[in-house]
Amino acid sequence: MKSKRKIIVANWKMNPISFDEAKKLWSKSIKKIEETERISVIISPPYPYLTGLKKPNSKKIYLGSQDCSFERSGAYTGLVSPTMLFDIGVSYVIVGHSEVRKRGDTDEIVNKKMHSVIDSGMNVIVCIGEEKRNDNGEHLLFLKEQIEKTFKGINKNNYKNIIIAYEPVWAIGASSAMDSHSIYETSLFIRKIITEKFKIPLRSIPVLYGGSVDQDNCKNIVKDGDVDGLLVGRQSLDIKSFTDIVSALDF
Ligand code: 13P
């Protein structure tokens, strides 16, 4: 794992509120990323900005979408299809984010979106995570079931198109991240389930951590938590914090 590039996913959520600000944030972020050697960054702006942000021809920077429909076209007012996203140069789509699940996406819907994204020629970042945890370990059973349902029917040959983002729901938008030791235990548990399911080597599918990542905790989370990278929310909107995270992970 140590020889692989670390992955950073910037999830801008419903920000910033003007295209001018989005362009500034984009260009300052990519300037910093271009200076690095050991990371890959997927920036996921809101839909309206996707076509206006020009992706440089670089193996370090990719355009991501925060969600999509599982339908490809038709009478689905307000929805955006994976085929459209692929057509405008999007390479990664986040599915199953807890904020989208809260608005109604079930594991079955997330599963359909996963299939649809992969079938459309893109890579999928699938978010999983428990809402709460206690000492008797019920969250592990919850995660196992969530993985089984969201990965239903996913072909072993597609593992190269999948990234898992472990985001404990209670740590999103919180005052502090999950501790690194618990991240280590949980990411290992997730890797074992995936390995058993697909019969692939333990680290074939990258596992990221998300939830209150900042410039101070990012390096420890990746090193001690033994994850392949990070999914960053609020701090991807603050150029100083984000560039600090980018530099910190370039090891
Ligand atoms: P925060 O980094 O703001 O906690 O958000 C995490 C997240 O939801 C990223 O997808």
Report whether residue 94 contacts ligand 1, using a CB cutoff of 6 Å.
no
- The model's confidence at residue 57, banded by pLDDT at 50, 70 and 90, is confident
Which residue, among 142, 198, 122, 129, has the nearest Cα to 169 in the 3D structure? 129
pLDDT of residue 59: 87
pLDDT of residue 134: 84
CB of 192 within 8 A of CB of 143?
no
What is the model's pTM? 0.97
Higher pLDDT, 164 or 56: 164
> E strands of the chain, at which residues?
6-11, 39-44, 61-65, 92-95, 123-128, 162-166, 207-210, 229-232
Token duo for residue 71: 């339908």
Length of the chain: 251
Rounded to the nearest angstrom, the distance between the alpha carbon of 96 and the centre of ligand 1 is 13
The beta-carbon contacts of 95-98 under 8 Å, at least 24 apart in sequence, are: 95/67, 95/68, 95/124, 95/125, 95/126, 95/127, 96/126, 96/127, 96/128, 96/150, 97/11, 97/66, 97/67, 97/127, 97/167, 98/127, 98/129, 98/131, 98/167, 98/169, 98/172
Rounded to the nearest angstrom, the distance between the alpha carbon of 35 and the centre of ligand 1 is 25
Which residue, among 186, 170, 172, 184, has the nearest Cα to 235 in the 3D structure? 172
CB of 183 within 8 A of CB of 227?
yes
Q: Which residues are the active-site residues?
A: 97, 167
Place of tokens 């990323």: 33
Report whether residue 11 contacts ligand 1, using a CB cutoff of 6 Å.
yes
- Residue 170: CB atoms within 10 Å: 17
Q: Is the pLDDT of residue 198 over 60?
A: yes
Q: Is the pLDDT of residue 225 over 80?
A: yes
Report whether residue 129 contacts ligand 1, using a CB cutoff of 6 Å.
no
Which residue, among 124, 127, 132, has the nearest Cα to 97 in the 3D structure? 127
pLDDT of residue 67: 98
CB of 130 within 8 A of CB of 145?
no
Report whether residue 211 contacts ligand 1, using a CB cutoff of 6 Å.
yes
pLDDT of residue 135: 84
With residue 147 as reference, give the H or E element that holds it. helix 138-150
Higher pLDDT, 199 or 92: 92
pLDDT of residue 14: 98
User: Ligand 1 atom closest to Cα of 97?
Assistant: 10
**CA distance linking residue 218 with residue 124, whole number of Å:** 23
- Helices 138-150 and 107-119 cross at an angle (nearest 10°) of 40
User: Ligand 1 atom closest to Cα of 231?
Assistant: 9
- The model's confidence at residue 3, banded by pLDDT at 50, 70 and 90, is low
Report whether residue 98 contacts ligand 1, using a CB cutoff of 6 Å.
no
User: Ligand 1 atom closest to Cα of 127?
Assistant: 10
- The model's confidence at residue 2, banded by pLDDT at 50, 70 and 90, is very low
Rounded to the nearest angstrom, the distance between the alpha carbon of 133 and the centre of ligand 1 is 18
Nearest residue (by CA) to ligand 1, atom 2, is: 233
DSSP3 helix / strand / coil % (the chain, rounded to 5): 40, 15, 45
Among 8-12, 53-57, 162-166, the least confident range = 53-57
Rounded to the nearest angstrom, the distance between the alpha carbon of 212 and the centre of ligand 1 is 6
Task: Give the tens place of pLDDT for each residue, 90-134.
Answer: 999 999 999 999 999 999 999 999 999 999 999 999 999 999 998
Token duo for residue 127: 């978010």
